[in-house]
Structure 1
């Protein structure tokens, strides 16, 4: 019962906005858990579809958002990919992001956000522990209340190309 009482206040952005750190407030539209489907592809792999859950959480008083993501095969539910990290928005509209992937790849990204348009654009500064991947961009945007994102990737053999895209609904 105690958990049920806490759930509404932790998922409602309006009731919890007073506890959101001022640096996080401009991108608080991301906070919560999002679920949906996506599709992926790349010139060197076959196209695929997947289910996904993405969570952006915030500890009151901290100027950072914790990020976690997991995907699965739609037909079987078998796990596919997972990643987690931290997003640190700055008052000047820039953002710093670190992401560790289940494949061992690590991204250090920088970018910018537009609080009015509800858009975050990220560009990799460093892609570590990747033998092939050399660049990753990510764009997140709220469109009609849903979270839409596009991931582009470049490898040593292929220039920056679309890799993943999904539309997720807030749970």
Structure 2
């Protein structure tokens, strides 16, 4: 997308736009550890709205069998704050708020609401952005566990 068609509030995160693919690993005290392939897509439809559409899918590395998917929207504000809503294929919905640290190139999002989840009470998503690479960490707390790492991944821009 030409830079002239990007909303000013989205401009500082325009390097996210595009498709990213890579691998990750996950685990939690209540489940076994696992590895997965992943693709994330960020898109922006022009200057009228400060919104980036987000979609993600994962698959088993050995078989290619689908594992998880989610989609939503990142809404940027001119002050650098970000509001995110994500609907997961499991039925869980996250509403997160955070900021982009331009110096460190890090987006940190913390859940304001985790809906339709009987056990999950908090989620923190942290993205580190480089020119051709994104890495992230997802932390989760449940009714039975304190906040701890659930997922980590590294993806390259296609």
* Shorter-normalised TM range: over 0.9
TM-score by length of 1: 0.89
Does the residue aligned with 1:131 lie in a helix, a strand or coil? Answer: coil
Q: Which has the larger radius of gyration?
A: 1
Match status 1:35 vs 2:21: yes
Aligned mates of 1:96, 1:49 — CA distance in 2: 29
Contact 1:29 1:118 survives alignment (8 Å): no
Unmatched segments (≥5 aa) in structure 1: 1-9, 11-15
Number of matched pairs: 157
Match for residue 88 of structure 1 among 41, 66, 75: 75
Match status 1:170 vs 2:138: no
Of Structure 1 and Structure 2, which has the larger fraction of its residues in strand? 2
Deviation digits for residues 78-124 of structure 1, max 9, x if unmatched?
A: 00000000001111121100000000000000001123432110000
User: Could you say which residue in structure 1 is the equivalent of 2:122?
Assistant: 135
Contact 1:42 1:162 survives alignment (8 Å): yes
RMSD of aligned alpha carbons: 1.0
Aligned mates of 2:131, 2:90 — CA distance in 1: 33
Unmatched segments (≥5 aa) in structure 2: none
Deviates more, 1:27-36 or 1:135-144: 135-144
CA shift, 1:140, in A, is 0.6
CA shift, 1:18, in A, is 1.2
TM-score by length of 2: 0.96
User: Could you say which residue in structure 1 is the equivalent of 2:86?
Assistant: 99
Does the residue aligned with 2:98 lie in a helix, a strand or coil? Answer: strand
Deviates more, 1:141-150 or 1:78-87: 141-150
Deviation digits for residues 9-63 of structure 1, max 9, x if unmatched?
A: x4xxxxx111111010011111110000000001111000000000000001221
Of Structure 1 and Structure 2, which has the larger fraction of its residues in helix? 1
